[in-house]
Amino acid sequence: MSQEKGWKELVPGGIIVEAGNAKEYKTGDWRTEKPEVNLEGCIHCFFCWAYCPDSAVVVDSENGKMVGFNYDYCKGCGICASICPPKVITMIPEES
Amino acid sequence: MAKIMGFNGNAAVAYAMKQINPDVVAAYPITPQTDCVERFAEYVSEGLVDTEFVTVESEHSAMSACVGAAAAGGRVMTATAANGLALMWEIVYIAASMRLPVVMMVANRALSGNINIHCDHSDTMGARDAGWIQLFSENAQEAYDNLIQAVKIAEDMGVRLPVMVTQDGFIISHELERVEILEDQEVKQFVGPYQPRYPLLDLEHPVTYGPLDLFDYYFEHKRSQIEAIDCSLPVIERVGQEFGKVSGRSYGLLELYRMEDAEYGLVALGSTCGTAKETIDGLREKGKKVGLIKIRCFRPFPKEAIVKAVSPLKGLAVLDRSATFGGFGGPVFTEVRSALYDAESRPLTLDFIYGLGGRDIFQEDIATAFSRIEEAVKTGRVEKPIDYLGLRE
């Protein structure tokens, strides 16, 4: 908490005056389960990328490849694992 | 030479709204406020104002539309009463939390149930902790004057909070009075052009209003909101003085009437202060050293001014036009007595709840309050710290 701002430093009314600053709010620690992908079986269909509500699927757009997950923002909802056509994404408990 | 009009309180407020010419008014009719909004709607239909008038389907929507329009960057007003204010509740808090300078007239009316359309202060007293500045009016003139000042107070860059201007339902809202009005140009100059802060419609500087605010920042935001309303006290006083220069009628946080050598005081809000002044004049003629402390600004609570005014007194009667069920006296009493706790000297203080649901208060009732407090001081005995005026047992 120590690095967070005190009340005198805040914008009145709790208004957010910087566009796109949700990026600074890392939601990855909300997770109880995390997705892991077995890239050997991945068909790079990008379904996980399209469905991810947090844009937390990392892709190599130049080569058209799914690469992995951005765990700073992945909330562990499991939608990617659920919709993956070849079933190569697995949800595993966070602590393991 | 000031222009004189025959106005009831609703008409006076509607006329002030016309002169202010807000960008947006969103309102839903409710007795005894209806007459005010109807009159303003006529100004809109006659093209006398530039206002976008939003006819909403409820008060919850009225305040929601006000919040949206104010966040977008408009100067916004509304009006309501009683159950209408209660239906707005959720959004009333949000308007203050977002620091939106919405101005709302409330024609004070009793909250249901049972259903009642007449005056008491239960509606606005219920909203006293919502974060709005609250100005009470004694008559139609003050309702007009307060509404114009409310715009300037709300929009002050150091304040940026919504302001509620109250007038007693029917007693002020529907009774014809002599009202001195300013010229349109004087009102326009007094309130000045509106400068929105962080308007949503400024596409070059996109902002977010009302985001999720959890345990990490909500508390700090509330603390800054507390600071904002506390710091509005000197602004309310300054605007009251500035209004005096334009109109000849200056306003403070309180109005003290015949308090210079008073031994016994009465605290009241709204139209009852007129009745109290008449009563005090009569009692003074009989040699009683009595005076009135009229609270014009109830939120923020002007603690220091009240302590200064009443601490030299021997006895103080507080009049509350609302009840707090299960509380220790009415809201005015609770605040006044709590403020006095740290004072070096403080008067014996009694609470009198009166006038619920529009029950009339008479000069005899106010004289009774004075005699009760005098008796308590002289005998040193308080049998009932909280009692009722004008109630059948």
Quote the minimal CA–CA distance from A69 to chain B in Å: 25
Q: List beta partners, residue B163.
A: B103, B133
Do the first three CATH levels of B3-247 and B254-389 match, i.e. the same topology? yes
Q: How far is A24 from chain B (nearest CA, A)?
A: 14
B109 closest CA partner among B253, B329, B270:
B270
User: What is the CB neighbour count within 10 angstroms for residue B257?
Assistant: 19
pLDDT at A2 over 70: no
Closest partner residue to A12 (CB to CB) among B99, B206, B211 is: B99
Distance CA B312, CA B263 (A): 8
The two beta strands, B24-27 and B3-7, are unpaired
Give the pLDDT of residue A96.
63
Element of type H or E holding B52: strand B52-55
Nearest by Cα to B133 from B121, B109, B118, B149: B149
Tokens 């047992």 map to which residue? Answer: B393
Low-confidence stretches of chain B (pLDDT beneath 70): 1
Mutate to test the interface with A, among B156, B213, B221 (most CBs of A within 10 A): B221
* A25 touches B at CB < 8 Å: no
For residue A1, the model assigns a pLDDT of 43
Q: For chain A, give every domain's residue range.
A: 26-93
Which pLDDT does position B1 carry in this prediction? Answer: 62
What is the domain partition of chain B in residue ranges?
A: 3-247, 254-389
In angstroms, what separates the C-alpha of B211 from chain A's closest C-alpha? Answer: 7
Q: Which residue, among A7, A27, A30, would best test binding to B if mutated, counting the most B CBs under 10 Å from its CB? A: A7
- Chain A residue with CA closest to B200: the answer is A17
Q: Phi/psi at B103 (nearest 5 deg)?
A: -110, 130
B3-247 under CATH 1.10.3720.10, yes or no: no
Residue A23: pLDDT band with limits 50, 70, 90: confident
Tell me the fold of A26-93: Alpha-Beta Plaits (3.30.70)
CATH of region B254-389, choose from 1.10.10.60, 3.40.50.920, 3.20.20.140, 1.20.810.10: 3.40.50.920
Indicate if the pLDDT at residue A95 is higher than 90: no
Coil, helix or strand for B107?
A: strand
Is residue A60 over pLDDT 80?
yes
Among B32, B33, B28, B96, which residue's Cα sits nearest to residue B65? B28
Task: Report the percentage of chain A scoring pLDDT > 70.
Answer: 97
Query: Which chain A residue has the Cα nearest residue B216?
Result: A1
Cβ pair B184, B16 in contact under 8 A: no
Closest CA to B348 of B314, B387, B311, B303: B314
> Which chain B residues are within 8 Å of A1, Cβ to Cβ?
216
Q: Look at A17 and B198 and tell me if their CB atoms are within 8 Å.
A: yes
SS3 B328: coil
